[in-house]
Structure 1
Amino acid sequence: MSVLQESSPLVIDHLYLWVSKDGTAMDALRSIGFIPKTTIGIHEGEGTASHVIYFDNMYLELLWIEDQAELDASLAKQPDVIPIGDTWRTTGHCPFGVGMHYRTPDTAPMGFETRRHTAQWMPDDSLLELFPQPSLYVPPCSILHGSLAYWESRFEHPHGHALGVQQLTDFQITVTSLDAVPPTNPLLSLLPLKLGAYPLLELTFDDQRQGKVFDMRPLLPLRLYC
């Protein structure tokens, strides 16, 4: 059951991709008419930072390594959380991640095998459930809880993009290997994954009513249908 189906108890909270720290990735998205949040989020204690673009039903997050020493200290405590950075260009590892939340805070949990995760930058009422990641070739996934998940009150531009897009209506993630993923892994039913030569995230907004396509490669492994 896909997290974009109306019958799914889980919905997309956000999608993220690893980028370089220099800001060129967000500049490229601005140039085609996206308006990001005015502030950058620093993930204290984890050595990363991000810049996000809000839409009506999810947000797109560009994530980078902000402080390597802080990141190394964090990884010493949780070595299974592995940053990809720009290494995907040579390794084929997946540079994307998927955050989900339950359709409402009262939705009955689905009972997946997950690991609880908190961090000092998160609101006190929030936590992540991290799915085991069977391979670096598939996206890490999590379920968000608390105000970290139900962030609608923090919208800055729910309808304000110059490009005129509002909602994510479909997405596809291309990965370079699924060999290490067991057939019973929930990621295979929750996420639209397909095999390809290079990682690619394809996002469709508003059922592509404008008939526009923006291919952000080679700067970003991202193709947008608007």
Structure 2
Amino acid sequence: MEIDHIFIFSKNNGKEADDLVSFGFVEGSSRIHRGQGTINRKFYFENFFLEILWVIDEKEIQNETTAQTTLWERSQFKENGYSPYGLCLLNCDLTDTLFKESKIYQPDYFPKGMSIDIITNEKRPQLPWTFRLPYRGEKKVNDEPIEHSNGIKFLTRIEFEVNDKICKGHFTDYFTGFDHIAFKESKRTHLNLEFDNKTQGKKKEFPELGLTINY
């Protein structure tokens, strides 16, 4: 099971991404999500990209189409305790069971008839918003920069620290047995990304993003 990308909601109009640039990451393209009311900054790697996301239009993100996604609630994580993270998995046979009863989201910025399978985790909002794109079995081809001055190349593991008791259920049970995706009961909401099997033996904290990078 492959991870396509992860997003982190920003409360400072994406300025937290400046710290990633200072750390040595080369920034890729950005995109306005028309009709969804969000915009992003992105950082690409050999097998994954990291997206910093924030709201630019409160009416759009709360419109009839987008309201079902609970992305607005996610963006208000400082006030309501929701997880600010989104986990995008590659659309493949392995994820069919997880998304069997998922919601369908047809964003305005996608061509008509092209939709996203979403798991909002609205009953357990401390867990990440989880989704898969319509591209079946392969990642969308891009021409983004992936050479970074800090030498980081390849995502090898992610861990979500969840500020709640990890209760067994369909969502968390699905990830049992996958060593590269983990959920940890914690006193904080936090994301740990491991790159290159920690071959450099280094760690960098990004407190404004709730992010730790081990590499």
Alignment TM-score, normalising by the size of structure 1 = 0.81
Q: Does 1:34 align with 2:22?
A: no
CA contact (8 A) 1:75 1:81 kept: no
Q: CA deviation at 1:80?
A: 4.2
After the TM superposition, list the runs of 4 or more consecutive aligned residues in structure 1 that deviate by more than 6 angstroms: none
Q: CA deviation at 1:177?
A: 1.4
Equivalent residue number for residue 131 of structure 1: 119
CA contact (8 A) 2:7 2:50 kept: yes
Equivalent residue number for residue 224 of structure 1: 213
Specify whether residues 23 and 140 from structure 1 end up closer, same or farther in structure 2 by C-alpha distance, changes over 3 A only: closer
SS at match of 2:170: coil
Q: What is the aligned residue count?
A: 207
Equivalent residue number for residue 7 of structure 2: 16
Equivalent residue number for residue 97 of structure 1: 86
SS at match of 2:63: helix
Residue type of the alignment partner of 1:164: G
Q: Does 1:166 align with 2:153?
A: yes
| 1:113-149 deviation digits (Å, cap 9, x = unpaired) | 11221212125574211125132111111121228x6
SS at match of 1:157: coil
Alignment of 1:12-91 (within 5 A): 12-37=3-28, 39-74=29-64, 78=68, 80-85=70-75, 87-91=76-80
Q: CA deviation at 1:223?
A: 0.3
SS at match of 2:157: strand
Equivalent residue number for residue 143 of structure 1: 132
Amino-acid identity (%): 23
Q: Superposition RMSD on alpha carbons, in Å? A: 2.5
Q: CA deviation at 1:171?
A: 1.0
CA contact (8 A) 2:14 2:54 kept: no
SS at match of 1:29: helix
CA contact (8 A) 1:17 1:95 kept: yes
Specify whether residues 185 and 114 from structure 1 end up closer, same or farther in structure 2 by C-alpha distance, changes over 3 A only: same
Unaligned runs of 5+ in 2: 176-180
Q: 1:155 aligns with which of 109, 123, 143?
A: 143
CA distance in 1 between partners of 2:39 and 2:113 (Å) = 21
Alignment TM-score, normalising by the size of structure 2 = 0.85
Residue type of the alignment partner of 2:169: T
| 1:152-192 deviation digits (Å, cap 9, x = unpaired) | x213113x11111111001100011146x5x2313343241
Residue type of the alignment partner of 2:150: L
| 1:24-82 deviation digits (Å, cap 9, x = unpaired) | 21100000001111x32111001111111111111111010111122222467526444
Alignment of 1:166-185 (within 5 A): 166-178=153-165, 183-185=168-170
Equivalent residue number for residue 116 of structure 1: 104
Specify whether residues 53 and 125 from structure 1 end up closer, same or farther in structure 2 by C-alpha distance, changes over 3 A only: farther
CA contact (8 A) 1:43 1:121 kept: yes
CA distance in 2 between partners of 1:113 and 1:30 (Å) = 38
Q: CA deviation at 1:201?
A: 0.3
CA contact (8 A) 2:73 2:80 kept: no
CA distance in 1 between partners of 2:66 and 2:39 (Å) = 19
